[in-house]
Structure formats: C-alpha cells, structure tokens
C-alpha cells in the first residue's frame, strides 16, 4: 500500500475516519515490522526539550547538578557531538518527525505553511508516528506525567508539534500512553519547555529560582555562572543565564518524574529512551544561528541492547533519532528517510553533518553549514545584512535589548563587538574546532586553509543539491505566512513586525 499524503482538510472529522481506515489497512498489510509482534516490541520514548544546549552535569556543566539526565547517561549511551539540522523550533521538529532534512521536505522556514500557501510532504514521506501506528504502536505526545494530563484520551491535549507541513492529528492516538490496550507498545514524545521557562523579560525570570528550590532543593548561584567569551559579564546577562540554568534543573526534575512513572508501571526496562533538545539556548548567537551555541545539542539513548555508560564522540544528527527508533522497534527503515540508525552494525558513520537556517518569523536569512571532525564551514547568502538584523522575537528579549544598549554605549569588548555587531558578515566562515571551540576566529581567508575551504564548499554544495535546496522562499509564501503571523500580534509588537516585513521586502527587491 502506498503511503497516503498528509493533508489537513477543512473537515477534520471525516478525514480522521478515512485516516484510521488507511492506517488499519496498512497495519494489516505491513504487520509489525521484521517478524516481531507488537506485544514483543519495546516502547519508544523521546524527551524533546525546547531551547536548551548541553548544559547538564554529565556534559561537564559545573554550575548545576542534573541527576536524572546523568542517570540516563550512566545507564545508556551519551553522544558528545550531536547536532540539530535547524537551530529554530519548527524546522527542527519538522525534520525530527520525518527523519529528513527540513530542506528536503520544504519545511525550512520557521512557522511556514500556516496560511493560504500550504506545504505538503512529498508523497512517499510520512511522519514517524504514522509508521509506528502502522506497526501496531499506540502513539502519544504530551508531558509524560500522568497526573498533569487533564484528558488523556482527547487529542486537544497534544503536546507541541510545530510541524511546517500539513498533517493530521490522528497521527497521535492521545496525549498519554495510559489509554493503550493491555500489552500494546507505545511511541511517546514527552515535551518539556526547557529554556523557554525563563521567559523573555526580567520579571518573568523572578520566580524561577524559587521554583527550582521547591522542586529540586537548590537554585543556581550566579557567581558560579560561566559565560562564553563573546557575552559580557553584565548583570542582566548573568541573571538571564542563571535563570536558564535553573530551567536546566527543572528540566532534569521533569525527566526524573517520567522515569519514576516508567519504573512504577514496570515499563522502564523495555523502553527505548532518547533525550535531546530541539536546538541550543535562545541567545544572541545561539537559537537561529549555526554556531555550536545554536546547533550542538545533548543526545542520550537508554534502553534494551544499548550500551551502558558508553560515550560516543562520532558525529550524529538529530534526524538520526527516527531511523534509530524504528530499528529499535524492529520496523523497517524507509528508503526515503535520510537519518541513520545510531547503532546499526553495518552503519556508515557521518563524515560530515549539515545544518540550515532560513526565515525566522518575519526575518529573512539563508545560512548553510557543514561540519567535519575538525572544521565548521558556514555560508552566508546575505552577507551584507548584519547577523543581528531586526527580529521582533529576539529583540523583545531583555538580554538582546541589553546587548544593544551596551553596543550603543561602547561598553562591549572588541571581540564582542566583532562577533555580535559587525555591520556585515563574511560570505564564508571557517573555524578550526580543535583550536577554537567557541568559533571566535574566522580563518576562511587564510591561504593555508584554501584546500579545506574548497573541500567544504564542495561538501556543502553536494548536500544542498541532494536536498533540492536551491531556491529562496517565494514572495507568495512569505506574504501568506506573514499574514497569519500578524493576526496573532497586536499593539507595539505588531508595528515592529510590520516595519520589519517592509524592510525585508525592500531588501529582497534590492537584491541585498
């Protein structure tokens, strides 16, 4: 049976009935995979954390203790060089749930396809939950904490999806696995707010230390916070990073509650668990950008047949989660899936990993990167635009406002000025990751690196060609999505977004 096209028509009820019939037929035709019955299969659980880098104690963070995430690492395999293919939520999640690069499926622009110009997946590609449903799994997406689920069997309670393509909510059976039939395995996504807990404004962060104290018995001491060298040790920046680390503590506590539930329900030892984040910390050089702060993520796997206490330094991508989870459930990995099984005995390691940043809300950009064992190469398609070009979402954050204020007053160091506020960017950037872990010195123009630059150009161009990634967003797609975006805004923020839209439209017309 060929895979159905996922669209969300106006009449969702009639579509859901049809979808259920199609999934049931596919299950009968396809079985549970490679010979196992569904009852013999492991459960699959993904922890999906928002806006958080690898600031857990098992990754070397000294300012916090994260015993539950550390437990996953101790009882499973921890990957030290895992990267998201997109440094912003919706493209990252669109890629994650299909096991395909977001540029391959046309889902690379943040919050796109919401308006009158919808985005449809290529016909052969279906989201991972559908593949699990076809194999007899119960699929769910929620908090993973039973007592917080107000209506376990209602789809209205689904956790964050944020997919940029058209899809049907019946791909998930419920928000929680408690509604499955006895013995039925489940595929669950556990959504955690992560770095978003600290909010955008100083006042929103005020209660986070208290919450961390109440839930974990400890809050972060600001004097223990260590910032990257491109951020000033300013009170506002330090307070924000301190609140962020309290969010790390609360994320760990959430993980602990879910693990306790799995143990209480005697499910833990037969559950294949992946802990990851959708992208890095939301900060000036993090979220939305292709440096380590935006793309390097924690990734830990625990479960049946997974090595305990192992640490792997090979390159992996977050889209590999899909193939690895299907393999763990003994479900055939589709030929169209671009992710790879982490644990395949005959697997081919990544020689390079790739990432892309495109439009984020109203702000147009087009950045591509390729990373190897030693090098990070970045191509900026709009180098004349500053890195921190106007963006209402980011400019609404108190930390960005403070950085702009320090820039205006001349209070930043020369390094911080160069990294954050250079009036334009280089067309190409190259960083030696072994000698420059913070990506501070662009060595692309150094003649001794000419061969490296040429090799990285070729790698990047070949990857883009393989994904059909050769065109910017169309004006009609931009206009459609901006119309929807503006509907959710009001007051001063709406005015800012409207001005930014006009600026981006002008720049496009000028070829800037």
One pLDDT digit (tens) per residue for the chain, 512 residues = 333 333 333 233 333 333 443 344 333 333 333 335 566 899 999 999 999 999 999 999 999 999 999 999 999 999 999 999 999 999 999 999 999 999 999 999 999 999 999 999 999 999 999 999 999 999 999 999 986 544 444 445 899 999 999 999 999 999 999 999 999 999 999 999 999 999 888 877 878 999 999 999 999 999 999 999 999 999 999 999 999 999 999 999 999 999 999 999 999 999 999 999 999 999 999 999 999 999 999 999 999 999 999 999 999 999 999 999 999 999 999 999 999 999 999 888 999 999 999 999 999 999 999 999 999 999 999 999 999 999 999 999 999 999 999 999 999 999 999 999 999 999 999 999 999 999 999 999 999 999 999 999 999 999 999 999 999 999 999 999 999 999 999 999 999 999 999 999 999 999 98
Q: Which has the closest alpha carbon to 109: 163, 159, 52, 48?
A: 163
Instruction: Name beta bridge partners: 192.
Output: 49
HSE at residue 88, side-chain half, CA atoms within 13 A, is: 24
Euclidean distance between the first and the last CA atom of the chain, given in angstroms as a whole number: 48
Query: Global pTM?
Result: 0.91
Task: Specify the DSSP class assigned to residue 360.
Answer: B
Cα angle 368, 300, 181; round to 5: 110
HSE at residue 181, side-chain half, CA atoms within 13 A, is: 5
Contact by Cβ (8 Å): 474, 505: no
Q: Cα–Cα distance between 442 and 379 in angstroms, integer?
A: 12
Joined together, the tokens standing for residue 264 give 């209480």
Q: Which domains does the chain have, with CATH numbers?
A: 12-197+242-347 (3.40.720.10), 357-471 (3.30.1120.10)
Helical spans, DSSP H, in 62-188: 67-74, 89-96, 128-134
Beta strand ranges found along 193-309 (DSSP E) = 271-277, 296-302
Contact by Cβ (8 Å): 360, 485: no
Return the pLDDT at 147. 62
Q: Cα–Cα distance between 73 and 59 in angstroms, integer?
A: 9
Return the pLDDT at 510. 93
Q: Cα–Cα distance between 238 and 223 in angstroms, integer?
A: 9
Those residues with Cβ within 8 angstroms of residue 64's Cβ, 6 or more apart along the chain or in another chain: 55, 56, 57, 220, 245, 248, 249, 252
Instruction: Please state, in angstroms and as integers, the Cα–Cα distance from residue 272 to each residue in 34, 152, 269, 275, following that order.
Output: 17, 22, 8, 10
Query: Reduced to 3 states, what is the DSSP secondary structure of residue 449?
Result: helix
Q: How far is CA 262 from the centre of its chain?
A: 25
Return the pLDDT at 73. 98
Return the pLDDT at 146. 80
């Amino acid at each position: 049976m060929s895979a159905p096209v996922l669209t969300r028509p106006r009449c969702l009820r009639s579509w859901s009935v049809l979808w259920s019939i199609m999934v049931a037929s596919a299950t009968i035709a396809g079985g549970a995979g490679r010979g196992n019955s569904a009852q013999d299969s492991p459960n699959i659980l993904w922890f999906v954390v928002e806006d958080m880098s690898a600031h857990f104690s098992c990754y070397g963070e000294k300012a916090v203790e994260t015993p539950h995430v550390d437990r996953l690492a101790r009882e499973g395999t921890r990957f030290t060089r895992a990267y998201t293919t997109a440094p912003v939520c919706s493209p990252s999640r669109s890629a994650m749930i299909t096991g395909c690069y977001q540029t391959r499926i046309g889902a690379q622009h943040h919050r796109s396809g919401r308006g009158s110009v919808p985005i449809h997946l290529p016909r052969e590609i279906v989201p991972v939950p559908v593949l699990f449903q076809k194999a007899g799994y119960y699929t769910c997406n929620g908090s993973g904490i039973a007592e917080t689920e107000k209506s376990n069997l209602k789809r209205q309670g689904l956790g964050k999806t944020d997919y940029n393509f058209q899809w049907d909510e019946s791909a998930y059976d419920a928000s929680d696995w408690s509604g499955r039939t006895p013995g039925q395995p489940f595929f669950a996504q556990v959504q955690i707010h992560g770095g978003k807990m600290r909010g955008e404004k100083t006042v929103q962060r005020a209660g986070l230390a208290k919450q961390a104290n109440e839930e974990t018995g400890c809050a972060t001491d600001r004097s223990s916070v260590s910032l990257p060298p491109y951020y000033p040790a300013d009170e506002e920046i330090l307070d924000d990073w301190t609140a962020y680390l309290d969010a790390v503590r609360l994320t760990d506590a959430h993980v602990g509650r879910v693990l306790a539930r799995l143990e209480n329900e005697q499910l833990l030892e037969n559950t294949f668990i992946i802990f990851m984040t959708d992208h890095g910390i939301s900060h000036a050089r993090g979220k939305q950008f292709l440096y380590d702060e935006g793309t390097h993520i924690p990734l830990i796997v625990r479960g049946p047949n997974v090595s305990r206490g192992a640490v792997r330094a090979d390159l992996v991508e977050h889209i590999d989660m899909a193939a690895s989870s299907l393999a763990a459930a003994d479900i055939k990995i589709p030929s169209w899936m671009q992710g790879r099984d982490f644990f395949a005995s005959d697997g081919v390691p990544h020689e390079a990993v790739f990432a892309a940043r495109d439009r984020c809300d109203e702000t147009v950009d087009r950045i591509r990167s390729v990373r190897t064992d030693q090098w990070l190469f970045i191509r900026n398609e709009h180098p004349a635009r500053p890195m921190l070009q106007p963006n209402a979402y980011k400019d609404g954050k108190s930390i960005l406002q403070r950085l702009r204020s320090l820039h205006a007053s001349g209070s930043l160091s020369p390094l911080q000025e160069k990294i954050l506020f250079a009036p334009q960017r280089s067309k190409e950037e190259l960083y030696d990751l072994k000698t420059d872990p913070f990506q501070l010195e662009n060595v692309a123009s150094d003649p001794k690196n000419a061969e490296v630059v040429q090799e990285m150009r070729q790698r990047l161009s070949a990857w883009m060609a393989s994904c059909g990634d050769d065109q910017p967003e169309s004006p009609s797609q931009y206009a459609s999505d901006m119309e929807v975006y503006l509907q959710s805004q009001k007051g001063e923020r709406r005015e800012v977004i409207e001005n930014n839209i006009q600026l981006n439209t002008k720049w496009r017309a000028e070829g800037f």
